[in-house]
Amino acid sequence: MTRLFASAALCAVLFAATACAESSENGADVSSQGSDVSMEGADVTAGTDLQPDADGPAVAEAGSPQAVIDAAPDAAWRTVDPENLLRIRTRTGMIWVELAPEFAPAHVARIRELARSSYFDFKVFHRVIDGFMAQGGGAPDNPGITSPLPPLQAEFTIQRSPDVLSISELQERVINPRENRTPAQAGFWNGFPAGTLPAAQAFIRADGMVDSWLLHCDGAAAMARTADPNSANAQFYLVRGQAEHLNATYTVWGRVRAGMDAVRAIRVGTVGETPGFSPDFIMGFHIASDLPEDERPTAQVFDTDTPDFARYLEALAASRPNNRLPDICEIDVPVRILE
């Protein structure tokens, strides 16, 4: 078995990714159907802490984030269920997206249904805004097209028991910088950047629950919609930058685990608006469990609930001039591919 390592920073060395979302003219919002509403392959690296070895290739500096990754045992890696791994094939390469049914069960079920019905055949990335997102699911001659399936109820947030579904609380932030500045926390769930009201609030709620959501960080996969919160259908977007003004107002159903360079390489423009724009096609859209075995890699994500990941965060903070972690959206969660 060949083991290939990667981090989000190098996710397109062997794979490529795409993105899709629709935005208003000022880039503030995302929509579908015309209404403005807004894996990596190569050595796992977590930054620039590789030092040249006089007798061979670069090696990680002792105590660096990379050294922690290199020393992590197999038990520190979580294998992605093939039923929760989506492959998007594009001109720019393959995109591997991990699905998150714990946060968006109906949207994940819809993505699987659309994949298995070949709905996205001959669809395109019809609206791509550099530094924001790439939206897919439109037709070359009809960017507002939607599937015959009924619209989905919003799954912007979930209510969770901290004892059942754990999210680390690493940083303070607000729910949404534009629409809801309620103080909140940010951390990780299964390698997904997540926001949550503090777990301590569960003790003062009768149901023992707190509200939580997945963040619109670079690589988030989410569903486009109209101004109606319950209008998402088939069009989706991949964030290529940050879109935190969409937090808890659009449903995030997954995260790119490989191929972000390909996401950023999708042609920029909007069908029907950008002169001469030739959109990239979605050339394949498949759930990994439906692929032939020789096309189905094993994707593993550094388990963010392990002591090894805690050591990785400590090393990452220590490697920075201020000895503090970067923003949660800028923390690279390593991924490796076993072939």
Q: Name 24's Cβ contacts closer than 8 Å, sequence gap at least 6.
A: 31, 36, 37, 38
Tell me what pLDDT residue 12 has: 35
Per-residue burial over 67-101, b if 16 or more Cβ lie within 10 Å, else e, is: bbbeebeeebbbebebebbbbbbbebbbbbbbbbb
* Torsions phi, psi for 124 (to 5 deg): -130, 170
> C-alpha angle 321/322/324, rounded to 5°?
120
CATH number, position 155: 2.40.100.10
**Count of domains observed in the chain:** 1
pLDDT in tens, 102-112: 999 999 999 99
Tell me what pLDDT residue 278 has: 97
Q: Name 301's Cβ contacts closer than 8 Å, sequence gap at least 6.
A: 77, 78, 80, 98, 190, 191, 257, 333, 334, 335
Where do runs of H (alpha helix) occur along 223-335? 260-265, 307-318
> Could you please report the per-residue DSSP string of 208-244?
--EEEEE---TTEEEE---SSTT-B-S-EEEESS--G
Tell me what pLDDT residue 338 has: 85
Tell me what pLDDT residue 63 has: 86
Q: Name 314's Cβ contacts closer than 8 Å, sequence gap at least 6.
A: none
Spatial distance between the Cα atoms of 253 and 269, rounded to a whole number of angstroms: 24
Q: Are the CB atoms for 221 and 254 separated by under 8 Å?
A: yes
Tell me what pLDDT residue 73 has: 97
Tell me what pLDDT residue 337 has: 83
pLDDT in tens, 292-317: 999 999 999 999 999 999 999 999 99
Q: List, for the chain, all residue ranges whose pLDDT scores fall below the cut of 50.
A: 1-28, 33-54, 56-57
Tell me what pLDDT residue 82 has: 98
Domain encompassing residue 197: 3-338
Beta bridge partners of 4: 337
Tell me what pLDDT residue 25 has: 36
191: three-class secondary structure by DSSP: coil
Tell me what pLDDT residue 32 has: 53
